[in-house]
Amino acid sequence: MSEVIKTVNLWKVYSDGTKALKGINLVVKEGELCGLMGPSGSGKSTLLHLIAGLDRPTEGKVFLLGRDITSMGEDDLAEFRKNNIAFVFQFYYLLEDFNVLENLLIVGQLAGLKDVKKKALEILSFLRLEDKIKHKPNQLSGGQMQRVAIGRALMLEPKVLLADEPTGNLDLDEGKRIFELFKHLNQEKGITFLIATHNTELSKFFDRIVRIRNGILTD
Ligand SMILES: Nc1ncnc2c1ncn2[C@@H]1O[C@H](COP(=O)(O)OP(=O)(O)OP(=O)(O)O)[C@@H](O)[C@H]1O
């Protein structure tokens, strides 16, 4: 199995001197559904942002699908991210003035995809949102909004999906449905996942759990 995510001696020291990550060596293999768990402030978001190329490390390297993203320039990194990585946040970041279908169409159109509408409708049907396509985000439940955000993430067929507390705003039942969806995507589409969560009740969905404390992996 190939290494989809690999970090080597990854450090992040913020400008105020906070050492958020202290030499993280992590490998996530192809097809894994991997959880990242640790207390508040332990470095989960920082690690996910560095792996996604949303921020740069102070020291160390991030390899994604075998490519060293730390040495890429901004344009190459943006192109690589677009083709390979999706990120799902706790707060869904949907476009409030657009309906559900349009929220997905825009992602495909900006990326210059063909058959954007067909693809968006397929994804929305997969997510069981076909009867909500004309709704605006403020007409949806939290769980439905997160499914739309996941739908946006799926438009570009990512190989890796990173998620930072994706169920942090949802009740347990909605959270379970989102994790069932992740499991389904993992099994059906072979997407590799690294998901940060506090919620120990959802940990049963993971193939493996990576634990972090004070910027260090603990097992
Ligand atoms: N931009 C920043 N500048 C300075 N310190 C920061 C910055 N962002 C995060 N930190 C600090 O880095 C450490 C790790 O934060 P991070 O957000 O990665 O933790 P986390 O595990 O995701 O926490 P939570 O579960 O509460 O979201 C914390 O001490 C935090 O205060």
> Does any domain span residue 10?
no
> Does any domain span residue 13?
no
- Report the run of H or E that residue 117 belongs to, with start and end: helix 116-126
Name the residue range of residue 79's domain.
32-55+73-217
C-alpha 139/C-alpha 59 separation (Å) is: 44
Distance 89 CA to ligand 1 centre (A): 15
**Cβ neighbours of residue 205 closer than 8 Å, sequence gap 6 or more:** 33, 35, 179, 180, 182, 183
Give residue-wise pLDDT tens across range 127-179.
889 999 999 999 999 889 989 999 999 998 899 999 999 998 888 888 898 89
Tell me the CB-side half-sphere exposure of residue 41, using CA atoms within 13 A: 3
- Contact between residue 139 and residue 173 where contact means Cβ atoms under 8 Å apart: no
pTM recorded for the entire structure: 0.93
One-letter amino acid identity for 7?
T
Q: Point out the ligand 1 atom lying closest to the alpha carbon of residue 45.
A: 22
**Cβ neighbours of residue 96 closer than 8 Å, sequence gap 6 or more:** 136, 137, 138
Cβ of 40 less than 6 Å from ligand 1:
yes
pLDDT, position 57: 97
Distance 88 CA to ligand 1 centre (A): 18
Best substitution site from 13, 14, 15, 21 to test ligand 1's pocket, by max atoms within 8 Å of Cβ? 14
The DSSP code sequence of 142-157 is HHHHHHHHHHHHHTT-
- Asked if pLDDT for residue 219 goes beyond 80, the answer is no
- Asked if pLDDT for residue 21 goes beyond 60, the answer is yes
Give residue-wise pLDDT tens across range 32-88.
999 999 999 999 999 999 999 999 999 999 999 999 999 999 999 999 998 999 999
> Does any domain span residue 40?
yes
Q: Point out the ligand 1 atom lying closest to the alpha carbon of residue 12.
A: 12
The DSSP code sequence of 46-98 is HHHHHHHTSS--SEEEEEETTEEGGGS-HHHHHHHHHHHEEEE-SS----TTS
pLDDT, position 170: 84
CATH number of the domain to which 129 belongs: 3.40.50.300
- Contact between residue 32 and residue 5 where contact means Cβ atoms under 8 Å apart: no
> Does any domain span residue 50?
yes
> Does any domain span residue 123?
yes
Q: What is the mean pLDDT of the chain?
A: 93
Best substitution site from 44, 47, 211, 217 to test ligand 1's pocket, by max atoms within 8 Å of Cβ? 44
pLDDT band at 181 (very low <50, low <70, confident <90, very high): confident
Q: Which DSSP state fits 205?
A: G
Cβ of 20 less than 6 Å from ligand 1:
yes
> Does any domain span residue 65?
no
Give residue-wise pLDDT tens across range 108-130.
999 888 899 999 999 999 888 99
Give residue 149's region: left, alpha or beta (phi > 0; psi -120 to 50). Answer: alpha
C-alpha 155/C-alpha 145 separation (Å) is: 16
Closest residue to atom 29 of ligand 1, CA basis: 41
Cβ of 16 less than 6 Å from ligand 1:
yes
pLDDT, position 1: 56
Total count of domains within the chain: 1
pLDDT, position 91: 83
Higher-pLDDT residue of 25, 167 = 25
Cβ of 44 less than 6 Å from ligand 1:
yes
